[in-house]
Amino acid sequence: MIRQIVEELDGKGRMEYLEPASDEQIEEFETRNGLVLPAAFKEWLRLSDGGELFLPAGLQIYGVAHKPLIEVGLGDRPDDSYVVIGALASGDPVLCQKGSEQISIYNLEGGCIEEDEIYPDFGAFLSDLQELLGIW
């Protein structure tokens, strides 16, 4: 599913993908940090361990083995139940909720997560990215 979404996005802007993470690297990251990353996000990491989408003003996604790395416990987020997995060019962090597939965007200025910026999974987030960034 994620591969198909990435192929659709490729024709719509400049993207920079990183070397994929291995299953071992993903498992080691999860074990070291005591969490399980969302399944669709792990599917992304197996294609690109981080990267930048819709350059120059788009989205930076963090990885588990290649810099910039996901730093569990750090970053702007509502509380400890979230992990920052990326950031929009605006500076607003992209979050995954621990124990959930949910992906959301934390509005730094408002100090909240807007209802229309909560996605059931990473695939839905990627599918909406073009509209979210206002790129047509």
What is the set of domains in the chain, with CATH numbers? 2-133 (3.40.1580.10)
The tokens 């719509």 sit on which residue? 12
Model's pTM, two decimal places?
0.94
Q: Are 96 and 106 in contact (CB under 8 A)?
A: no
Task: Return the number of other C-beta atoms located less than 10 Å from residue 116's C-beta.
Answer: 9
Q: Are 123 and 1 in contact (CB under 8 A)?
A: yes
Question: Using CA atoms, how far apart are residues 86 and 70, in angstroms rounded to an integer?
Answer: 8
What pLDDT score was predicted for residue 98?
A: 94
The per-residue pLDDT for range 103-132, each reduced to its tens digit, is 999 999 999 999 999 999 999 999 999 888
What pLDDT score was predicted for residue 136?
A: 56
